Structure 1
């Protein structure tokens, strides 16, 4: 359902399936379950780890015309709790049949995502383990005051873990119902739990450490501060309503047009992003066919025996979209807001509505362009604004917001915001791998690395990528005074050529052009990817995480488009071996020079926590931009009107 909030009021309308890329509906999710059940694929212990829209092949979507019939398919990942087995099923919801099934070789590939139901069982399982109770007893801790944090275990090839569906469990002390256990890590001990057998099969009790005891609530004494009263209200109003329209899941704003969907694993996805141009076929110039952030990994840098394995793949292992927040006016979004509900599946396969999952609004963004001229008296200013489409998830201790921005000058930006509570440990000293956040409390060094999948379509589906560096020109006949510098373009011709790293000292960008389309100056039309250039994966190349999260080892990858190559860490990420991810997509070294191609961009944060990040971390931001380079013949924002007040208009 869609809710539009004007100040404090809201109205709702129900969407329909009008397009092959319409949002997955509750009826389609319910039908998927019924079809799977009728095919005999369910049992008493089978759970749905995921249901998502299986998009039609790209060629079919591009060829579709309004009024033509189309089929809707869904993918279901079925996890059998009794055996640990995983089956994937492709369901034709339109025809009411299961098209195909595949039994996953969990030992060779990986397991299905961890279920909430499994997490909920963990504390009871731990209480049946003599070794676990003994470890707590050694530390003088009451087991009933312990909050268990079960985590994805990785895959280290240990003989007793091969093929076993499992998790590793760290523990935190909770002093009372109001206490935040993150402030009291019980470090030096870790339980290994077989989720299928429902038993602890190993306890790694390697060191007894003091449990930090300072309370961690943001308003806890003795550090609580009174709420300040010197901030006056800010009101954002649009008395005529927003400038954008939403029809089904088609959004039109200024010169922009795009569709959006929501996937329980992938989160927010933008489709068919284009710029309106009456002279273009269909009245729109395509820029990106599909844009999403399909994976992220949070590798930790603490080598302690109880912590070396911590590396979360929040999308592939946890299906993080199911933890999407219900956004609220005045809290998460400010102004004239359009909210959109999203439908996902619960673990029984039933539809679950996530209220206000997606937030859309436009916001002022300062000066767009400005000039005061000495010679002709020109004094012009135009203000910028941007279209914002976002969602926020809470996954364990961290909260992540993902914001897509579209600007009036043709710029596209993705910003990821990280906040919440840092994952904690005991502090082992200044020579360790953590920051002391409170007395005796550590926060291990870690990274948040995201993979953007950008199915590019710059003025069509024949694109090429150049690496563009700023370089000095040596002193010589061409540059006798040594002041010259220029851009150096290097064409990335194959998939292996296009495995590249950012270099801020060279102002490196990657320019995606259409070699078949030129602007009025005879230049190929293009969009440049501007990376932030922060570190990629810092773990050693020989490490397990560098194999399982190979996408994070470089900032840029380019692959020839292939339907189905969607997940940069592989289809089954939980306990994966790392053999079917992005590095395998490009292993064939296909030609990408003038091809239908996908640009994959790794970006993120390297987090050495600060005391100021405790007890709740202020938002830290990362992302990237795509800026037009020759896509337009001149500044596309010349048509933006001046401000409404007289002193914003005309000559000085």
Structure 2
């Protein structure tokens, strides 16, 4: 008899569930539908957490699951005739629409690649595009391409559903090769597409002058398509390409296999356990993270990122992407390739999204799981005996990569053997560029190729950290390292030489926002006041380590700032609710948002108590990217790291049982054989 697979409450929709839901939507709402998402809804924490605890305790799976919450799904679709968004909640077991809401025209749906490909074809054949080419003195049949760009917002009032397109010429001599690099051939016009009217609403022209030209369109006299040069990156397109001959292979070999174990979507590694899931908006989500079965974090995800650009001249002043809200990390995820994106012994997880017609697309290999050696984990040498204690820093890696038109973002979660979790984001890909007149420079960016201006911009990320530090009911605090006073006689009695400093603790008792302060070493912690460390007599906790990066540069009164309140402060603390809109730092609907509703600004306005509560910490950090010539044509990775480290959670370093490093296991080789075979690592 074949065993029936038990469905975990966090498992994504099965293909049959997906299919039945789509049939229900068509039957209920007709055929004029463009699907944006068909996905499982996470059960309320009050229902899910007891199930997770029971499973962690080894209770009977079938018995636990039989008492679980009913499975529900969210469907997001647009009506092709009105362009309005519709959302539905579906009870999967009964195949019943529990809730339906039509989101009116003040909100716009997220984009999808299928829509953009369709619109690009229309843009390239539209008379308005041919007319713009003629104004530039270019033939109508000039090979061109159109990069889709979210329209953005520059007014607080409502506007139609628009898309912008950044135009480029195809490189001469590319002979139709679609991998040819078009970003070194920018065209100074931006068609604006009206989604509902299905036509070009207007063509905006880009300012191509320098600071002295101000708001004067100089392209009419100065545009010179002959200025551009090829900047190919694909080896087969580079002229006289020669691969470096002196780079030897470096292989990651694990002769006994990987140290992790996989059970469906659950991962076990070095005392860690966790479950992953996948959705259209956030992509990779981590759930029920435990160390030696002790709950640490309930849910970790990338909530949002915004990419505002610094050129104030229309129409480029509207360039502000919300790559998760506007597009979705799930929709834009890469299929990762063995030996390229991830090395060593790799396990891949698939994802799934809905195509416009509702059919399910299985996304192969969107998450890779493997191990990395990150160098020395810890070391001490007894100078009296010269004996060393040394371990390697082995880490578990969960990685996903998204491509949002020109840019790539690599999102990596690391788990180490000392109880810490690290999140790294790497930005790479191609700079978003505009045309600039020959011989001119601009304060709004850097000339990276002849006639090509790469605009100054920011990438500001927001992590959503939902803790469960040794159980429910957590509190956020921040600590500052401050010098002791050294003025009065009493103060000098306590600090006689003026060298003392102490740590001041500040309880965060209600929802709000905070900023890092490197001058005070301001550090944020999440603690469980009900669990006290036997050694330090302090509450069990985890500490957030993150770089003090620049926040949003757009003026606080600007539409851009109102659309991204999360990007104006480093840390936000809120109370958890099971409303799915509370998952998103900039609100649920970011496409052409006006900053009037949703997101962290609204959440903290509740000012609810956060002491010994079910809290969420939001960590915001970013890159202010003022481009270099060396960032073109493909940008080397720019990296940022955030860490969550145990702080009085254990009674000693939990990695003391990690095997010491030794040559017998590592099998390293000397580069020159005539050198001594001495090894500092004792077998």
Q: TM-score, length-normalised on structure 1?
A: 0.91
Structure 1 pair 486–431 and aligned structure 2 pair: CA distance change class (3 A)? farther
- Once the 2 structures are TM-superposed, how far is the Cα of residue 95 of structure 1 from its aligned partner? 2.3
The answer as to 2:480 corresponding to 1:481 is: no
The answer as to 2:460 corresponding to 1:449 is: yes
Q: How many matched pairs? A: 622
Partner residue of 1:7?
A: none
What whole-Å deviation, never above 9, does each CA across 1:322-367 have from its counterpart, x for those lacking one?
Answer: 2211111111111111111112211111111111111001111211
The answer as to 2:23 corresponding to 1:34 is: yes
| Structure 2 counterpart of 1:58, from 36, 45, 57 | 45
What are the equivalent positions in structure 2 for 1:441-590 lying under 5 Å apart?
441-476=452-487, 477=492, 478-496=494-512, 499-521=513-535, 522-564=537-579, 565-578=582-595, 579-590=597-608
Moved more, 476-485 or 522-531: 476-485
Structure 1 pair 17–152 and aligned structure 2 pair: CA distance change class (3 A)? farther
- Once the 2 structures are TM-superposed, how far is the Cα of residue 255 of structure 1 from its aligned partner? 1.0
Partner residue of 1:81?
A: 80
Partner residue of 2:212?
A: none
Q: Quick check: 1:502–1:555 contact (8 Å CA) kept in 2?
A: yes
- Once the 2 structures are TM-superposed, how far is the Cα of residue 430 of structure 1 from its aligned partner? 3.8
- Once the 2 structures are TM-superposed, how far is the Cα of residue 129 of structure 1 from its aligned partner? 5.4
- Once the 2 structures are TM-superposed, how far is the Cα of residue 131 of structure 1 from its aligned partner? 4.6
What are the equivalent positions in structure 2 for 1:213-292 lying under 5 Å apart?
213-218=228-233, 219=235, 225-276=241-292, 284-292=293-301
Counterpart CA distance in 2 for 1:631 and 1:312 is 39
Q: CA RMSD in A?
A: 2.2
Q: TM-score, length-normalised on structure 2?
A: 0.87
- Aligned to 1:37, the other structure's residue is in SS state helix
Partner residue of 1:149?
A: 147
Structure 1 pair 223–436 and aligned structure 2 pair: CA distance change class (3 A)? farther
Structure 1 pair 129–352 and aligned structure 2 pair: CA distance change class (3 A)? closer
Counterpart CA distance in 1 for 2:551 and 2:241 is 38
Partner residue of 2:109?
A: 112
Counterpart CA distance in 2 for 1:28 and 1:309 is 40
| Structure 2 counterpart of 1:170, from 166, 171, 174 | 166
Structure 1 pair 23–221 and aligned structure 2 pair: CA distance change class (3 A)? closer
Counterpart CA distance in 1 for 2:345 and 2:201 is 54
Counterpart CA distance in 2 for 1:383 and 1:101 is 54
Counterpart CA distance in 1 for 2:22 and 2:514 is 43
Partner residue of 2:211?
A: none
- Aligned to 1:320, the other structure's residue is in SS state coil
Counterpart CA distance in 1 for 2:365 and 2:156 is 43
- Aligned to 1:202, the other structure's residue is in SS state strand
- Once the 2 structures are TM-superposed, how far is the Cα of residue 487 of structure 1 from its aligned partner? 2.0
Structure 1 pair 16–505 and aligned structure 2 pair: CA distance change class (3 A)? farther
Q: Quick check: 1:242–1:361 contact (8 Å CA) kept in 2?
A: yes
- Once the 2 structures are TM-superposed, how far is the Cα of residue 156 of structure 1 from its aligned partner? 2.9
Q: Quick check: 1:190–1:205 contact (8 Å CA) kept in 2?
A: yes
- Aligned to 2:317, the other structure's residue is in SS state coil
- Once the 2 structures are TM-superposed, how far is the Cα of residue 37 of structure 1 from its aligned partner? 2.1
Partner residue of 1:9?
A: none
What whole-Å deviation, never above 9, does each CA across 1:35-60 have from its counterpart, x for those lacking one?
Answer: 2223x1242x3111122221000111
Partner residue of 2:445?
A: 434
What whole-Å deviation, never above 9, does each CA across 1:291-315 have from its counterpart, x for those lacking one?
Answer: 0002111111111212000011111
Q: Quick check: 1:35–1:91 contact (8 Å CA) kept in 2?
A: no
Counterpart CA distance in 1 for 2:15 and 2:547 is 39
Partner residue of 2:57?
A: none
Counterpart CA distance in 2 for 1:541 and 1:26 is 46
Counterpart CA distance in 1 for 2:420 and 2:196 is 49
What whole-Å deviation, never above 9, does each CA across 1:392-434 have from its counterpart, x for those lacking one?
Answer: 1111011111100000011100011111111111246444211
Structure 1 pair 605–24 and aligned structure 2 pair: CA distance change class (3 A)? farther
What whole-Å deviation, never above 9, does each CA across 1:487-506 have from its counterpart, x for those lacking one?
Answer: 2222111112xx01122233
Counterpart CA distance in 1 for 2:4 and 2:344 is 23
Moved more, 516-525 or 421-430: 421-430
Moved more, 641-650 or 541-550: 641-650
Structure 1 pair 344–128 and aligned structure 2 pair: CA distance change class (3 A)? closer
Structure 1 pair 495–36 and aligned structure 2 pair: CA distance change class (3 A)? same
Q: Quick check: 1:15–1:248 contact (8 Å CA) kept in 2?
A: no
- Once the 2 structures are TM-superposed, how far is the Cα of residue 437 of structure 1 from its aligned partner? 0.7
Unpaired segments of 5 or more residues in structure 2? 55-60, 207-216, 665-678
Moved more, 408-417 or 128-137: 128-137
Partner residue of 1:622?
A: 640
- Aligned to 2:528, the other structure's residue is in SS state strand
Moved more, 566-575 or 552-561: 566-575
Q: Quick check: 1:127–1:143 contact (8 Å CA) kept in 2?
A: no
Q: Quick check: 2:481–2:521 contact (8 Å CA) kept in 1?
A: yes
Counterpart CA distance in 1 for 2:646 and 2:383 is 29
What whole-Å deviation, never above 9, does each CA across 1:244-277 have from its counterpart, x for those lacking one?
Answer: 111111111011010001112111000011101x
- Once the 2 structures are TM-superposed, how far is the Cα of residue 643 of structure 1 from its aligned partner? 2.8
Moved more, 254-263 or 476-485: 476-485
Counterpart CA distance in 2 for 1:502 and 1:643 is 37
Partner residue of 2:670?
A: none
- Once the 2 structures are TM-superposed, how far is the Cα of residue 16 of structure 1 from its aligned partner? 5.1
Counterpart CA distance in 1 for 2:453 and 2:37 is 35
- Once the 2 structures are TM-superposed, how far is the Cα of residue 150 of structure 1 from its aligned partner? 2.6
| Structure 1 counterpart of 2:118, from 108, 116, 121 | 121
- Once the 2 structures are TM-superposed, how far is the Cα of residue 128 of structure 1 from its aligned partner? 6.7
Structure 1 pair 286–77 and aligned structure 2 pair: CA distance change class (3 A)? same
Counterpart CA distance in 1 for 2:81 and 2:113 is 16
Q: Quick check: 1:411–1:628 contact (8 Å CA) kept in 2?
A: yes
- Once the 2 structures are TM-superposed, how far is the Cα of residue 452 of structure 1 from its aligned partner? 0.6
Partner residue of 1:387?
A: 396
- Aligned to 2:426, the other structure's residue is in SS state strand
Partner residue of 2:617?
A: 599
- Aligned to 1:30, the other structure's residue is in SS state helix
